[in-house]
Structure 1
Amino acid sequence: MSDPRSNGTPEAPTRKRSRTAVRLLLFVSLAANLAVAGMVAGALLKHPPKDGPPRPDRFGDVFSYALTHDDRREIGREMMREIRANRPERDALKAEFQRILTALRADPYDSTSLETGLSNQMNEAIRRQEIGQRLLLQRITQMSPAERAAFADRLEEGLNRPPRERGSKKDRAGEAEKRP
């Protein structure tokens, strides 16, 4: 009997596994991009918590808290438009994840390749953060002196408040009533 691979064509199961791997890779790539976009947009779109400002060590949340609801919504929408318009091509994302997977499976381990792949992902996250910062600065520039003063007051409130104590919502309900 002859070997089915002797004519140089791969067997059908190998092709199927390859397609499955590509689909899995695309899914992981999409999930990672959505996670990053969700974190950035979530910080801008999130409504202020009912029991006071966010922790001051979470800068994006503090600035988001200081914006009005309408400003937060508009900045978030514009940010998502820009991110969608300038996102990397699907093939580039797929290739980046393939490099990461190859680096992880390499024997001997190639830390430089993994570091490069992770750095590229970090650069994409930084690009998105820069979009948010630019849009925030544009909005602040458009504010009247009174709006800027109110924004500064809310920002200061968020920065000066100690981190929330963990506890039930019921325990924190009294704090929400004290907030102007």
Structure 2
Amino acid sequence: MTSSKTPRNRRLLRWALGLSLALNLLVLSAIGGALWRHRGMGPGRDHLPGLRSYATPYVQALPQERRRALHRDMHAGQQAPHLNRQARRAHYAQMLAALRAEPFDPAAAQAVLTRQSDAVASVQTAAHAAWLAQVGAMSTAERSAYADALETQLKDRAWGRGRRPHESP
């Protein structure tokens, strides 16, 4: 009498277990990706720090309202026109075209690299200006508290596995 329901129940149980496993893997992957991105894990991160790794402590040490203002300044005024994804994608598309061209033209690839370098420099310049505006607007007490928060950020980052700021890599 219950034998007709048993195969269906087993099938539902298998589906439920499979779905549960898939959701668990999805959550673990999201957590792992966040840790990889935000905690500096991964190959080459200690050896070739990028702009983001240099700027992160400065930004994270800012009080929340100043951090939001900094991001607003960076995006609202289009101080850094190369922040938009379309411009970055266009550069990559140009490089792909240069790499696939026959015969290969190193000058064309160099021109794309130069445009990308100029884009990075414009973003960096805008970031510096926005950060200086935020820090310049601080009172002496706020700036002192910010310096303390920055020092804490730098200590918490362990400077590349135990090195201090004044030590060589």
TM-score by length of 1: 0.50
1:67 to 56, 62, 65: 62
* Distance in 1 (alpha carbons) for counterparts of 2:119 and 2:109: 16
Contact 1:83 1:128 in 2 (8 A): no
* Distance in 1 (alpha carbons) for counterparts of 2:70 and 2:76: 10
Counterpart of 1:100 in structure 2 is 95
* Distance in 2 (alpha carbons) for counterparts of 1:68 and 1:107: 53
Segments of 4+ moved more than 3 angstroms: 84-88, 91-99
Alignment gaps of 5+ in structure 2: 1-37, 40-45, 162-169
Q: Which amino acid aligns with 2:149?
A: R
Equivalenced residue count is 112
Deviations along 1:157-176, one digit per CA (max 9) or x if unpaired, are 122331598xxxxxxxxxxx
Alignment map for 1:109-124 (pairs within 5 Å): 109-124=104-119
Counterpart of 2:151 in structure 1 is 156
Q: Is the alpha carbon distance of 1:160 and 1:97 closer, same or farther for their aligned partners in structure 2, counting shifts above 3 Å?
A: closer
Taking CA–CA contacts closer than 8 Å with sequence separation of 6 or more, which of the two structures ends up with the larger relative contact order? 1
Identity %: 28
Deviations along 1:107-163, one digit per CA (max 9) or x if unpaired, are 221122112102202211221121111011011111100000001111111223315
Alignment gaps of 5+ in structure 1: 1-47, 50-54, 166-180
Q: Which amino acid aligns with 1:128?
A: V
Superposition RMSD in Å: 3.6
TM-score by length of 2: 0.53
* Distance in 2 (alpha carbons) for counterparts of 1:97 and 1:160: 36
What displacement does 1:99 show? Answer: 4.1
